[in-house]
C-alpha cells in the first residue's frame, strides 16, 4: 500500500528520474552492442505531434538550437551545430535513434548534444535540475515517433 502511494507520487512528477509504472527508469536503460535501445521506454506508442512540440520547446528538446529539419521550416532559426535530421530514419534504425535520444554522449563520445534521458549528476548542475532528466520517457518515444517519419 505504502509503495503504491509512493509510485503514484513519482509518476505525477514526470521529470523526476524515477520512472512511472511500466517505464524503464533513466538509470536502467539497456544499450545493445550498437549503442541502440531496441525496447520502447514506455510500451505506449509515441505521439508524433507531441514529439514535434517537445522538439521545439526550448526547455525540453530544444533540438532546433542545433539541428535543421526541413519539414518543420516554419519553426524560426534552425541551428547548424549538429547534422540535419532530414532523412534520419533512412540512415539509422529505430533502436539506434532511441539510443541517441536517451544518451547521445554514449553514442557519440564527447558530443555537445545533451543526454535527454539520463539523470543529471554532473558537477554544478542547478539544484532544480539535479537528478532530473531533460525529457520524460514518453517524450523520448514521442520525439522518436516523429523522427521515424523523416525518411528519404
Partner 1 sequence: MKNITLSAVIATGFALVGTAALAEGQPPAEIKPLVIDGINIVAEAQAPSHMDIPAIYSGWEFRAEETQVLQLDDFDNPGMLEVDAAREAFNTVDGAAGKSCASCHEGGPEEFKGLAAVLPRWNPDQNALYTMEDYINYCRTARMQAEAWPWGKTQLNGMVGLLNLQSRGEIRNVAIDGPVADLWQQGHDIYYVKQGQLGMSCSSCHEENYGVRIRAEILSQGQTTGFPVYRLKNAHLNSVENRFKGCMKNMRAEPYKPGGPEFHALELYVASRGNGLGIEGPSVRN
- Return the sign of the alpha-carbon dihedral for residues 96, 101, 105, 108: positive
Residue 144: closest CA among 44, 22, 13: 44
Nearer to partner 1, 3 or 77 (CB): 77
Kindly tell me which of 17 and 88 has the beta carbon lying closer to ligand HEC. 88
CB of 130 to partner 1, least distance (A): 8
Binding interface with partner 1 (CB under 8 A): 33-35, 64-66, 76-81, 105, 107-112, 114-115, 120, 122-127, 129, 132, 134
Instruction: Provide the minimum distance between the beta carbon of 151 and partner 1 in the complex, in angstroms, as a whole number.
Output: 21
**CA R_g for the chain:** 15
C-alpha cell at 43: 510500451
Q: Quick one: cell of 103? A: 544518451
Q: Considering beta carbons, is residue 38 or 82 the nearer one to ligand HEC?
A: 82
Amino acid at each position: 500500500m505504502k509503495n503504491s502511494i509512493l509510485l503514484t507520487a513519482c509518476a505525477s512528477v514526470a521529470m523526476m528520474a524515477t520512472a512511472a509504472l511500466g517505464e524503464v527508469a533513466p538509470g536502467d536503460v539497456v544499450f545493445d552492442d550498437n549503442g541502440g535501445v531496441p525496447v520502447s521506454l514506455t510500451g505506449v506508442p509515441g505521439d508524433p505531434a507531441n514529439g514535434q512540440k517537445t522538439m521545439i520547446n526550448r526547455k525540453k528538446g530544444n533540438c532546433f538550437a542545433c539541428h535543421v529539419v526541413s519539414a518543420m521550416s516554419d519553426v524560426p532559426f534552425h541551428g547548424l551545430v549538429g547534422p540535419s535530421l532530414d532523412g534520419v530514419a533512412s540512415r539509422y534504425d529505430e533502436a539506434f535513434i532511441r539510443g541517441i535520444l536517451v544518451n547521445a554522449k554514449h553514442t557519440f563520445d564527447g558530443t555537445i548534444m545533451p543526454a535527454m534521458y539520463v539523470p543529471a549528476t554532473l558537477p554544478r548542475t542547478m539544484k532544480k535540475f539535479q537528478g532530473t532528466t531533460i525529457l520524460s520517457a514518453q517524450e523520448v518515444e514521442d520525439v522518436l515517433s516523429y523522427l521515424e517519419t523523416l525518411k528519404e
